Structure 1
Amino acid sequence: MVVGTTSGAGKSTLTSALCRAFARRGVDVAPFKAQNMSNHGAVTPDGGEIGRAQAMQALAAGVETDRRMGPVLLKPSGARSSHLVVLGEEVGVADAMGYGERAARLRPLVLGALQGLRSEHEVVVLEGAGGAAEINLLDRDLVNLPLAAAAGIPAVLVVDIERGGAFAAAYGTWALLPERLRACLRGVVVNSFRGEVSLLEPGLRDLERRTGVPVLGVLPHLGDHLMLGVEDSLDLSTTLPSPAPADTPTGRPVRVRVVRLPHLANPSDLDPLVLEPDVDVRWATGPADVGDADLVVLPGSRATVADLGWLRACGLDGAIAALVEDPDGPQVLGLCAGYQMLGVCVSDELESGVGTVAGLGLLPVATTFEAPKVVRRVHGTLTDRSGAGAAAVVRGYEIRWGRTRPVVTGGVSSGVPWFEVDEGEGDVRPEGCLRDDGRVRGTSVHGLFDSDALRHTMMADIASARGRTFAPSPVPWADALDHHLDHLADWVGASLDIPALLALARTATPVGREPGW
């Protein structure tokens, strides 16, 4: 198990790195995170929902995603409540104050999911959550050291030295834990160090002396390496990692401005654009931020109606409408909730409970929130009128309550479907909407830009219309993801003893003989 002194210490990154490092040594490895809090989801082959980080870790491990890899997912919907997903299925809303009792009931389910994965894989790498010594939450903790103790699994503690106070954080975590949980800690990993490691040695040895826990290594700061598939809001920087215009091959990149919604969901939709050298991707939080855009993106959200209200409060609704009215203005793209916001109205008695509210009115569609929740993978092709390469294949996934349908006025719609989704056995269904002038489009499908052909053709078309220059990245997106994960494996391999960590993993109590909760 990989636990941390704090949120953002590097647990997800280290877990992904170890999954890839172990897999490269021929080990059958799988990831696991008992309880996740994130609005960034992924879809399993059988239509279950798990956290995006576990999907990335499964890719690192070279295995297919599985509902059991993330048996409990909390999707924040307000300051004190979250939608609760259990083994891939949404089961209701959890209140922060009353969640402790429910968490206790989930313990057997969590341990059972872990046992199932352990029985099918040689090694399972578990990721903790938050800080390992949240002493106000230990009685309800499903994901950190109480689980390690129940499963008889060794744990390593990650501390981010760049935050400052690393020795205090590591020692304080150890000191606050009850003895039965301290016994699970079998090593400390120092993360994000810049400088000469020998300067740390006196402190590292003193920490070992005080705690009796060995320091297993010091990981250097990853520098400018782009982190893909982040799910924690703490990992979303104020500006997306993108090359400055002067650093691109042409100096005139396609300028993509992504509206940073308060309840942003599935930001990995933008990762393939971030890696394009001739695309400049930046966050937008106000009207001034979209003024130079060639493409404005309204991304996914976990609170469509609330974020639509935020758009109006900060003036982005009027700014986007003005850009669309300008015949020389940019294109606008809505993804999932962003697509819903672009429509005529959103009727929501299910999530927000506020009823029907007006949308931005930029697409001839209307959305109604309905049960059951749609969670599925999809594939299809672009329509002949899509303007972005009719031969391009669309592959992605949907996670939504909203059903978005065309609005017909006088027997005619001012838009056309963007995709045709393959439903199997020769059946197809229309998906998304492209306005007649080609300037505004939207879809319920996440992962749209993972398609190299679609992404490259769309960016080239925008560049041509806006007098920019676009040369597509020579590296396919799938290869870029693999390179990212290999880089992480190289990173840990250079500073940690991977065979020793594998040996440590194999000291775990055998399945079926766990101490239990």
Structure 2
Amino acid sequence: MQSTLKALMVQGTTSDAGKSVLVAGLCRVLARKGINVAPFKPQNMALNSAVTKDGGEIGRAQAVQAAAANVEPTVHMNPVLLKPNSDTGAQVILQGHAITNMEAAGYHDYKKVAMNTVMDSFGRLQDEYQSIMIEGAGSPAEINLRENDIANMGFAEEADVPVIIIADIDRGGVFAHLYGTLALLSPSEQARVKGFVINRFRGDITLLQSGLDWLEEKTGKPVIGVLPYLHGFDLEAEDAINNQQVRGNSKLKVVVPVFTRISNHTDFDVLRQNPDIDLRYVGKGERLDHADLIILPGTKSVRDDLAYLRSQGWEEDIKRHLRLGGKVIGICGGYQMLGQSICDPHGVEGQAGESKGLCLLNHVTELTLHKALTQTSGTLTLDGISASVKGYEIHVGRSQVDDEQPIRLNNGEMDGAISSCNQIFGTYLHGFFDSSEVLSLVCRWAGEEDIAVIDHAQIQENAINRIADAIESHLNLPLLWPDLETIQS
């Protein structure tokens, strides 16, 4: 294989321009050619994360990209993960493990140290893989973040890798985004840019041609291609919550409150995709009502978000829902909220102290310095019916449980709790809905026995192939890799 395939970095004009999806698609394109390719994101800021087999934590986007590359995800694919726990601070995770909480100003200086971790992981991937598809973060033109940058051009310069820039035309202003982003780069950074990709175009491509010609003339950079708007495209979002699809003829109505630090909301993608389920996210100022099932999601700041839940009047909504015979599930932080108390003696998630829980389950939780990071499997039993369950745990805290525990793990331990009234169920496991068997069991417990069976993993696989097909059809890949077509699939 020629060195031109060794590495390529995708940077964007904005967040959500399509970087994550383009990297996933490029990984699949190269994997189809038999190339041993890996994804890489030097620094990620996200509350959606995944657990690797060796017990590390990375952004979920990199786990999806690894699936696109047909390789097992590792911590080196996302060596720096920042999980915000306030408007100005975040937990810093290096090579899969949390090291500290840090305010933004302090982290700005710490990036010089973090770059060593980034380059160590990148070097390990270079030794193991033929090609690396790299994703930037946000935009390289954020002038206030340029100093000590490890996420975009700072990394590209240090690693000496070529860059392409993607912009979302569906947002409007695509030519200003691309022209302005390039103009704000240094001369050496501009020279590193090999071309542009325009994402999510609708309509007649001939009507765009004059703009493409202008952009190429003004910048001296080629437009590598224009990706079409893919209607119904559904791949896990890196951090933004996908819009729910409200269905008037649904069999089961599910409501999820959106906490200020909601984490791993990808737990609910399989519910959103199911034609028999009406999934509704409820935000600030809205009510938790008209539901068969309320699910309290995970959160990075459980005590703060418990206070937020109360400030929104949602505690009263939940209790009214239960009086009317509805069901409630808590996942991870949401599970902790359902108990009697949450104690944070070490100030792990903020100021040390204790909060009264919702008192709907009989457990108490103490937040601990050690974070549980495990892939987990076992058996879930509800209403005397059992199903094989698997998921992953990402949490600080241990819960002492007095209720019946519905999940027996394969290591012999128990997880979760279920109330004596059989209306409230909690678990530390993320991702357990992805199993159609488990989803059917939970929906039966919630009052609906006949729910459509869908294959969440196949939906993800179809989405990856769909973006890869679009890349092969609409991007001029020989501009990036002149020798790509000579490689045998």
Common fold, TM-score beyond 0.5?
yes
Structure 2 residue runs without a partner (length 5+) = 1-8
Equivalent residue of 1:139, what SS? coil
Find the counterpart in structure 1 of residue 148 from structure 2.
140
Quote the Cα distance in structure 2 between the aligned partners of 1:382 and 1:140: 48
Find the counterpart in structure 2 of residue 76 from structure 1.
84
Say which of 460, 466, 471 aligns to 1:492. Answer: 471
Equivalent residue of 2:305, what SS? helix
Say which of 371, 374, 377 aligns to 1:373. Answer: 371
Cα RMSD (Å) of the superposition? 1.8
1:225 is the counterpart of 2:233: yes
Equivalent residue of 1:223, what SS? coil
Aligned-pair distance for 1:139? 1.6
Aligned-pair distance for 1:346? 0.6
Quote the Cα distance in structure 2 between the aligned partners of 1:309 and 1:504: 58
Equivalent residue of 1:183, what SS? helix
Quote the Cα distance in structure 1 between the aligned partners of 2:414 and 2:246: 36
Find the counterpart in structure 1 of residue 269 from structure 2.
271
Find the counterpart in structure 1 of residue 253 from structure 2.
255
CA contact 1:279–1:470 (8 Å) conserved in 2: no
Quote the Cα distance in structure 2 between the aligned partners of 1:504 and 1:259: 50
Shift in alpha-carbon separation, 1:149–1:505, aligned structure 2, 3 A: farther
Find the counterpart in structure 1 of residue 247 from structure 2.
244
Aligned-pair distance for 1:281? 0.6
Amino acid at match of 1:397: Y
Aligned-pair distance for 1:81? 0.7
TM-score normalized by the length of structure 1: 0.89
Find the counterpart in structure 1 of residue 407 from structure 2.
419
Aligned-pair distance for 1:365? 1.0
Q: Where do 1:100-179 residues align within 5 Å? A: 100-179=108-187
Aligned-pair distance for 1:421? 1.1
1:334 is the counterpart of 2:339: no
Say which of 417, 422, 431 aligns to 1:438. Answer: 422
Say which of 452, 463, 466 aligns to 1:472. Answer: 452
Amino acid at match of 2:24: S
Shift in alpha-carbon separation, 1:400–1:27, aligned structure 2, 3 A: same
CA deviations over 1:204-229 (Å, ceiling 9, x no partner) = 11111111111001111123323x32
Say which of 344, 355, 372 aligns to 2:340. Answer: 344
Equivalent residue of 2:113, what SS? helix
Shift in alpha-carbon separation, 1:13–1:504, aligned structure 2, 3 A: farther
Structure 1 residue runs without a partner (length 5+) = 246-250, 408-414, 507-517
1:404 is the counterpart of 2:366: no
Quote the Cα distance in structure 1 between the aligned partners of 2:483 and 2:245: 39
CA deviations over 1:332-376 (Å, ceiling 9, x no partner) = 000000000111111013212241111111111111001211111
Quote the Cα distance in structure 2 between the aligned partners of 1:64 and 1:253: 37
Shift in alpha-carbon separation, 1:462–1:100, aligned structure 2, 3 A: closer
State which drifts further: 21-30 or 151-160.
21-30
Aligned-pair distance for 1:479? 1.6
Quote the Cα distance in structure 2 between the aligned partners of 1:96 and 1:293: 39
Aligned-pair distance for 1:117? 0.6
Shift in alpha-carbon separation, 1:241–1:497, aligned structure 2, 3 A: farther
Quote the Cα distance in structure 2 between the aligned partners of 1:320 and 1:287: 15
Amino acid at match of 1:453: E
Shift in alpha-carbon separation, 1:201–1:366, aligned structure 2, 3 A: same
